[in-house]
Amino acid sequence: MRTSRLWITAAVIAALVVSLGASGCAREPTPTPRPLLQRELSRAFKRAFDAEQRMRTGRSQTKLVKEARARCAPRGPDPRERREWPWRCRIRYLSRAGTTGQARYDVRVDPRGCFSASSGDYPPVIFERAIGRRSRNPLAEFRSCP
């Protein structure tokens, strides 16, 4: 009799563990933490800066920005209430040439943690020297999916 109670108790515990594990799959996405967004936005800005210079000069150059630091604040409610989470970010940077600058970006983060950033601090299109026509400015709008 005592052995059967132990088996029943073990079966109930096992069922609870399995049901709790299965319910974890149906959870809503976890919001993107601020430090992760700031780090990835800084990295994407550095790549966009390199791309913009390459378009203007026609020469491939990399790592033109020595340091870029993003500071972000959420502009909307918790992401579980919306499809995208709006943020307002400011990036301060130091180039390898010693110049400093800053830009403001409106950022939208989707449930996967991918983001799109747009700024009015840069012209939306620039002349791309290599192809001889105007193209979208990588610093005005960029996307990334960490």
pLDDT of 112-132, one tens digit each? Answer: 889 999 999 999 999 998 889
**Does residue 138 form part of some domain?**
yes
Question: What is the token pair recorded at 85?
Answer: 């989470």
pLDDT score at 17: 41
State whether the Cα torsion 129-130-136-137 is positive or negative.
Answer: negative
**Does residue 59 form part of some domain?**
yes
**Does residue 85 form part of some domain?**
yes
pTM for this structure? 0.76
| Phi, psi (deg, nearest 5) at residue 37 | -60, -45
**Does residue 18 form part of some domain?**
no
Contacts of 88 (CB under 8 A, 6+ apart): 72, 73, 75, 104, 105, 106, 107
**Does residue 92 form part of some domain?**
yes
Total domains in the fold of the chain: 1
**Does residue 21 form part of some domain?**
no
Q: Could you tell me which residue, 16 or 74, shows the higher pLDDT?
A: 74
**Does residue 96 form part of some domain?**
yes
pLDDT in tens, 30-83: 678 899 999 999 999 999 999 999 999 988 888 999 999 999 999 977 666 567
> Which range marks the domain in which residue 70 is found?
34-144
Question: What is the token pair recorded at 103?
Answer: 């830009």
| Residue in this structure with the two tokens 């983001």, named with its chain if needed | 115
